[in-house]
Amino acid sequence: MMPIQIIYTVYDKRGKRATTSVKLGSSETMARVQLFAVAWADAIDNLMGGVIRSAVALLQASIAGLVGNVVGTNADVEEIAEMQFDSVNGKPIYITVPAINENKVLNDTGVLDETDTDVAALLAALVEGLDVGTDTVYVVDTGGGEVADVVYAREASRNSGTRKV
Amino acid sequence: MSLQPQVTISWVDDKEKTTTTKFRILTGYTTAELNTYGFAIAQLFKDISTAKITDVSISVGLDLSLASLKTVATTFADWFTKLFVQARDVSEGVITKYFVPTFDEANISSGSDVANAADAEVIALQTLIEDGLADGGIFIHPVTDYNQNVDAVDFMRENFRKS
């Protein structure tokens, strides 16, 4: 797996933003990452004139074994599934899926087929949480409120893609 | 208060257009749990999409309240000036680079662009890079892109952004 990257955001006297980072071993615990982040921040702060405003730890999950992870013919990131959920705090949570498989959409309605096994599995993971063996991971709103229910899950289109070439 | 951790799934279609799916999760999970979740949730998303997943990352906000950080930038603080540190994993020879923005030129040896090796603050950073941070007898080490401990600093010198 990729190393864990700690990224600091720094601002200079004019409010211009820069970042600086350091990497730790992929097997490190969050507690040790947190401990090191404070020590590194102190060390570089003493050598800088700017102000450290925030720090995040960036983990990259291994996707080496994903099944069927290839680009389908005519796959288009602008043809999306858009899903809205309500959190327990009453806040909306929006999640989109690009290049939605048309086989997952009900004919003539544009609504995702919730009887489809794959659609049902994704919605269950997002609404009820996903068991990772030692805990269950829940999707939340920005305030930490867990998902309460699905409001809608439907096909849509938008200009969402950035062309690389 | 930092925001909840954010999961970002990166996609590409058959015209090489790219996009992302983003959402937030609860705090408090271990790195192992986050890695397991990243893979598992990516598979569920992939099962209803015809695009290809190119990356899954999770960003977790860190608490710096225990650090003794300045709260106001100095008058000389300039994003343009950096400290460039090159270090390496001696056994494999792989180098890694660090850039510290708004570098304070008071830490430079007079008449050169090299960081002053006798400066206590320069020594502190070099020690942290080469020796790591002690945590109950097990050191936390910076690593290269290949997960190998960085254990030697080649040089530390002033550098500037391209304008």
The answer to whether the beta carbons of residues A61 and A126 sit under 8 Å apart is no
Residue B10: predicted pLDDT: 97
State the sign of the Cα–Cα–Cα–Cα dihedral A62, A67, A73, A74.
negative
What does the pLDDT read at residue A162? Answer: 63
When pLDDT is averaged across residues B130-148 and rounded to a whole number, the result is 93
Pairing label, strands A162-163, B17-25: antiparallel
Q: What pLDDT digit, counting tens, does each position of A141-150 carry?
A: 999 999 999 9
Note the pLDDT tens digit of each residue in A22-73.
999 999 999 999 999 999 999 999 999 999 999 999 999 999 999 999 999 8
Residues of A within 8 A of B97 (CB-CB) are: none
Mean pLDDT of chain B: 93
CA distance A41 to B24: 25
B 36-95 near A (Cβ less than 8 A): 36-53, 55-64, 66-79, 83
Mutation choice for B interface testing from A30, A70, A163 by most B CBs within 10 A: A30
Give the pLDDT mean for B78-90.
Answer: 92
Beta bridge mates, A91: none
pTM equals 0.90
Residues of A with Cβ-Cβ distance to B37 under 8 angstroms? 61, 130, 132, 137
The span from the CA of B1 to the CA of B9, in Å, is 24
Q: Are B15 and B32 in contact (CB under 8 A)?
A: no
Residue A154's SS3 state is strand
Residue B37 CA neighbour count, 13 Å, CB half: 28
- For residue B7, CA distances in Å to A34, B56, B60, B143 come to 19, 7, 9, 23
B-chain CB neighbours of A63 within 8 Å are 38-39, 42, 53, 55-56
Q: Residues of chain A with pLDDT > 70: what percent?
A: 96
Report how far residue B157's alpha carbon sits from residue B163's, in angstroms, rounded to the nearest whole number: 19
How far does Cα A64 stand from its chain's mean position? 18
Cα angle vertex A81, ends A79, A87, to 5°?
A: 150
Mutation pick from A42, A67, A114, A131 vs chain B, by most beta carbons of B within 10 Å, is A42
- Rounded to a whole number of angstroms, the distance from the CA of B13 to the nearest CA of chain A is 5
| Chain CA centroid to CA B34, Å | 18
What are B18-62's pLDDT values in tens digits? Answer: 999 999 999 999 999 999 999 999 999 999 999 999 999 999 999
Nearest to A25 among B43, B125, B143 (CB): B143
Report CA torsion sign: A99, A101, A107, A110: negative
Mutate to test the interface with B, among A5, A7, A23 (most CBs of B within 10 A): A23
pLDDT at residue B156 in the model: 96
Chain B residues within 8 A of A67 when measuring between CB atoms: 43, 46
User: Closest-CA residue in chain A for B25?
Assistant: A139
Q: Does A123 touch chain B (CB under 8 A)?
A: no
Q: Is A72 exposed, middle or buried (0-12, 13-18, 19+ CB in 10 A)?
A: middle
Q: Which of B79, B69, B73, B22 is nearest to B45 (CA)?
A: B22
Q: Give the three-class secondary structure for A112.
A: strand
